[in-house]
Amino acid sequence: MVAASLLRNLPAPGEGSVVRTWLLLRRIAIDQIDDLPTLLNALQGSAPEARAHAAAALGRIGSLAVPHLLEAVQDEDVEVRILAASTLGEMKDPTVLPALLRLFEDTDSARRLKAVEALGRIADPAAVPALLTALRDDDDTMRFVAAWALGEVPDATAVPGLMTALRDADEDVRFQAAEALGRAGPDAVPDLLNALQASDQELRRIAADTLGTICHLSAIPGLMKALHDEDMSVRFRAADALGRTGSAVVPDLLKALQDADTDVRFLAAMTLGDIGDPDAGSGLLAALQDEDPGVQTQAAEALKKIRNRRG
């Protein structure tokens, strides 16, 4: 049995690579139930290294290993608890949720971090309150992982917390929160539209980008308004988001070709070209006579794109 052989030959503390042996065990395709007693014995042994490796390898067995991994989450050794939590998360078995929530209450930050990661992998809405608590943690890494985990959980109650995280002091946390909101879909649109009107221009930029990820028709009016934003970067992001919406936004963009603001007309022509809907042809032809040379050029480019798409 490969598992038994590896466990018998674990490197002593300070000798060889414990991590290397653990990775080898993780790769084992345990096809015979005979390996289970060997791993369970190692899990109950005196050597922390053996218990940690056994916890990782048990994840390859499946549901039969869950009760034993739940015991390992309570092990006296830190590494054993961390690897057991990671393994349970990768198994994505919802029955382990209570044990992971208990681990999240641990005073050790490394164990709490692994619990949050595992909760994200299980993606059970019941974990959202704990993940929202982690999103307010003092540690940047904890908040980052919590934002990622909330993106894995399809639950609208996570949206307000993620919106708050868009103002996080850490850039990576803000980015991950935006990613999570993008995965939240239509539930996040109302809050993102409010953010699109915030005084913070960085928040408006993030909101426009995220609305582009969601691509929901209810965002069109707010994104059209954002074409007039005082920040040009917000305008371009709003135009990009509108372009991802597709043909549904063409009538609004054709109206924008008549806007008093030159930049709005330019962005409208550009976005119509990106969409490539033939119904925009007449409006773009008229825009070739626009008083602004930049709008004329962009209208010509848009018409060229439409023709090319037609073949």
* Predicted pLDDT at 80: 72
Is the entire prediction scored with pTM above 0.85? no
**For the chain, what is the mean pLDDT?**
84
Please indicate, yes or no, if residue 12 is contained in any of the structural domains.
yes
pLDDT tens digits along 201-259: 999 999 999 999 999 999 999 999 999 999 999 999 999 999 999 999 999 999 999 99
Please indicate, yes or no, if residue 45 is contained in any of the structural domains.
yes
- Which range marks the domain in which residue 253 is found? 246-311
- Which of these three, 94, 125, 148, is where a domain ends? 94
Mean pLDDT of 29-44: 56
* Predicted pLDDT at 161: 97
Higher-confidence residue of 288 and 73: namely 288
Please indicate, yes or no, if residue 142 is contained in any of the structural domains.
no
- Which of these three, 48, 70, 94, is where a domain ends? 94
Measured distance CA(169)–CA(51) in Å, rounded: 39
pLDDT tens digits along 80-109: 777 777 777 777 777 788 888 888 888 888
Please indicate, yes or no, if residue 266 is contained in any of the structural domains.
yes
Please indicate, yes or no, if residue 301 is contained in any of the structural domains.
yes
* Predicted pLDDT at 141: 97
Overall number of domains in the chain: 2
pLDDT tens digits along 46-91: 677 666 666 667 766 667 777 777 777 777 777 777 777 777 777 7
pLDDT tens digits along 149-197: 999 987 899 999 999 999 999 999 999 999 999 999 999 999 999 999 9
- Which of these three, 32, 63, 94, is where a domain ends? 94
* Predicted pLDDT at 85: 76
* Predicted pLDDT at 2: 46
Give the CATH number for residue 19: 1.25.10.10
Please indicate, yes or no, if residue 230 is contained in any of the structural domains.
no
